[in-house]
């Protein structure tokens, strides 16, 4: 087996041992009909290996179909793979063959197989075990003779543990695994790939080939390449088109390399902060809890107002007439039963008690103008010092700050 001829035939660039090992496994398993699962990060070139397997198999004269499972909507994936009968669903104006029927006698490559819905996984397992499938809208089983090669960039074992992928299907697919190494683990191949892409783009755009000096070569090889070969090709094309100087320095190359955050120190949040920001739903919950605390602060303020004749005054005597007017306007008497008040419901509330939100909104709307007046008085008295004003009003400094912003009070 001449690996170099295989690489030349399928336009594979690289001399790393990991790449050569993957090619050797693909060629060795090709004459059999065993299922193959190709794993590797996105952009590593996994689509080349199903072609190697097909061309070196006994099915090389049969059809070859490549299907990207992640690009097909969940509602139509069964129809695309297994076909459908006329009238089986809205828009099914005629019967249609699926990929498994079209690829009979050949090879079918299912890319991004980790994106398959669980219901489709059941159908696929039946095809692999019995060679039978059923069109959507039909009850008649049909036979197909295909060789299946699958690929994925997700951790299938983790997906099995989380219940997103069937364990029996995983073991049926993973008869022969082929791992495609990421580009960061193939440093000796990075510059070779760059030169190949630079030559291709020079011919495409009819311009001189871009080259790298020694320092930029080191920078290129030490970059982490999260997008792998696809990202390297994209950056090479940008350099070929944009740069006037055909010799690329490290300083110029840095402008095209996104910041490598993988090597930066990670600031780990506290456990409570991490829980608070896991999802938008939990953020909303946190906001609601803060609002409840503010409501409690307001209730404490009202309770303190009611207890002023019981030896708990919270304001100076010169504000006494203002409080009397406040409750006279609402027809509220401190000695009158609360249930007799038609306009406002003021209740004693324990510090830990949370009342109905609708009642509190009604209460705050009726007292808003007087709240503004009390806050202004207290701020003037303490010369704008919010901490002292909040203590006098019987509310937290945070609540006072929020009310100043809400009511547009000038300090």
Please report the pLDDT score of residue 377 as a whole number: 86
Q: Are residues 111 and 221 in the same domain?
A: no
Q: Are residues 255 and 323 in the same domain?
A: no
- At 207 the three-state DSSP class reads coil
pLDDT at 114 over 80: yes
Average pLDDT, the chain: 81
Q: Are residues 190 and 330 in the same domain?
A: no
Region of poorest pLDDT, from 158-167, 235-244, 302-311: 302-311
- Domain of 191, in residue numbers: 184-263
pTM of the shown model:
0.62
Q: What is the total count of domains within the chain?
A: 3
| pLDDT (tens digit per residue) in 316-361 | 444 555 555 555 544 444 444 444 444 444 444 454 454 444 444 4
Domain assignment present for 75: yes
Q: Are residues 170 and 189 in the same domain?
A: no
Please report the pLDDT score of residue 281 as a whole number: 58
Domain assignment present for 322: yes
Percent of the chain, pLDDT > 70? 77
| pLDDT (tens digit per residue) in 294-304 | 777 777 777 77
Taking 3-state DSSP, the helix, strand and coil percentages for the chain, each rounded to the nearest 5, stand at: 55, 10, 35
Q: Are residues 204 and 135 in the same domain?
A: no
Q: Are residues 348 and 206 in the same domain?
A: no
Please report the pLDDT score of residue 136 as a whole number: 92
Out of 234, 263, 292, pick the residue that ends a domain.
263
For every residue of 54-89, DSSP letters joined together read: HHTSTTTTS-EEEEEGGGS-TTTHHHHHH-B-TTSS
Q: Are residues 27 and 165 in the same domain?
A: yes
Q: Are residues 156 and 241 in the same domain?
A: no
pLDDT at 273 over 50: no
Q: Are residues 307 and 333 in the same domain?
A: yes
Out of 221, 245, 263, pick the residue that ends a domain.
263
């Amino acid at each position: 087996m001449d690996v170099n001829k295989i690489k030349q035939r399928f336009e594979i660039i690289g001399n790393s041992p990991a790449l050569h090992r993957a090619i050797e496994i693909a060629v060795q398993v090709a004459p059999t009909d065993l299922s193959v699962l190709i794993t590797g990060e996105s952009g590593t070139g996994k689509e080349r290996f199903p072609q190697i397997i097909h061309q070196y198999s006994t099915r090389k004269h049969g059809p070859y179909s490549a299907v990207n499972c992640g690009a097909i909507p969940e509602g139509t994936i069964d129809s695309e793979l297994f076909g459908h009968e006329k009238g089986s669903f809205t828009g099914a104006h005629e019967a249609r063959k699926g990929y498994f029927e079209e690829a009979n006698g050949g090879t079918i490559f299912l890319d991004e197989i980790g994106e398959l819905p669980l219901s489709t996984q059941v159908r696929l397992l039946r095809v692999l075990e019995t060679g039978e499938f059923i069109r959507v809208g039909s009850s008649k089983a049909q036979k197909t003779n295909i060789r299946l090669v699958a690929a994925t960039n997700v951790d299938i074992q983790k997906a099995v543990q989380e219940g997103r992928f069937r364990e029996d299907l995983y073991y049926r697919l993973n008869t022969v695994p082929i791992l495609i190494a990421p580009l960061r683990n193939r440093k000796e191949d990075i510059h070779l790939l760059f030169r190949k892409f630079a030559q291709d783009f020079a011919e495409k755009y009819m311009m001189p080939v871009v080259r790298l000096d020694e320092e930029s070569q080191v920078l290129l090889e030490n970059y982490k390449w999260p997008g792998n070969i696809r990202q390297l090709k994209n950056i090479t094309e940008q350099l070929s088109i944009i740069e006037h100087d055909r010799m690329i320095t490290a300083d110029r190359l840095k402008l095209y390399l996104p910041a490598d955050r993988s090597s930066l120190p990670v600031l780990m949040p506290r456990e409570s902060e991490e829980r608070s920001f896991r999802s938008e739903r939990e953020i909303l919950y946190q906001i609601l809890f803060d609002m409840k605390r503010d409501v409690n602060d307001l209730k404490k303020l009202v309770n303190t107002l009611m207890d002023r004749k019981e030896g708990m005054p919270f304001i100076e005597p010169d504000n006494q007439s203002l409080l009397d007017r406040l409750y006279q306007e609402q027809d509220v008497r401190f000695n009158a039963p609360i249930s007799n008040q038609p306009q406002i419901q003021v209740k004693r509330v324990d510090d830990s008690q949370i009342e109905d939100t609708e009642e509190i909104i009604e209460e705050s709307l009726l007292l808003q103008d007087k709240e503004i007046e009390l806050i202004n008085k207290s701020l003037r008295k303490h010369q704008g010092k919010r901490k002292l004003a909040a203590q006098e009003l019987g509310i937290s400094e945070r609540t006072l700050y929020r009310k100043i912003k809400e009511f547009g009070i000038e300090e």
